[in-house]
Amino acid sequence: MELRVQQGNITEADADLIVVNLFAGVTTPGGATGAVDQALGGGISQLIAQGDFSGKAETTALLYASLSSRGALNTSQSRLAAPRVLLVGLGRPDRFGIAQIRRAAAVAAQAAAKLDGVKTMATIIHGAGIAGHDTAVAAQEVALGTLLASYRPKQYRRNNPDDQLTSCTVVEFSAEKLADAQRGLSRGEAIGRAVCRARDLVNEPPNLLTPLEMAARAQSMAADVGLKSAVLNEAAMQEVGMGFLLAVSRGSANEAQLVILEHAPAGHAEEAPLVFVGKGITFDTGGISLKRPADMWAMKDDMGGAAAVIGALEAIGQLDLPQRVIGVAPCVENMPDGTSYRPGDIVTGMTGKTAEIISTDAEGRLVLADALAYVARFNPIAVVDLATLTGAIGTALGLHVRAGLFSNDTALQEKLMTAADHSGERLWPFPMDEEYEKPIQSDMAEVKNSSGRAGGLSSSAKFIEHFTEGYPWAHLDIANMVLADSRINPETPKGATGYGVRLLVELAERYAVHS
Catalytically annotated residues: 291, 365
Q: What is the Cα–Cα distance from 316 to 325, expressed in whole angstroms?
A: 8
327 strand-pairing partners: 261, 276
Residues 372, 467 contacting (CB under 8 angstroms) = yes
DSSP string spanning 133-155?
A: --HHHHHHHHHHHHHHHH-----
346 strand-pairing partners: 356
| Helix/strand/coil for 110 | helix
What's the one-letter identity of residue 330? Answer: P
| Helix/strand/coil for 37 | helix
| Helix/strand/coil for 36 | helix
Nearest to 470 by CA among 391, 334, 368, 379: 379
- The tally of CA atoms less than 13 A away on the side-chain side of residue 1 is 32
* Exposure letters 399-437 (e unless 16+ CB within 10 A, then b): ebebbbbbbbbeebbebbbebbebbbbbbeebebeeebb
Residues 88, 126 contacting (CB under 8 angstroms) = yes
- Provide the 8-state DSSP code for 157: S
- Provide the 8-state DSSP code for 499: T
In angstroms, the Cα distances linking 461 to 355, 457, 503 are 15, 7, 20
Q: What is the Cα–Cα distance from 199 to 94, expressed in whole angstroms?
A: 33
Burial of 465 (0-12, 13-18, 19+ CB in 10 A): buried
Q: What angle do CA 465, 468, 474 make, to 5 degrees?
A: 65
DSSP string spanning 178-192?
A: HHHHHHHHHHHHHHH
CB-based contacts of 500, cutoff 8 Å, min separation 6:
198, 278, 304, 305, 308, 309, 311, 312, 386, 403, 425, 476, 478, 481, 482
Q: What is the Cα–Cα distance from 81 to 191, expressed in whole angstroms?
A: 31
In angstroms, the Cα distances linking 115 to 70, 88, 119, 417, 482 are 21, 15, 9, 39, 29
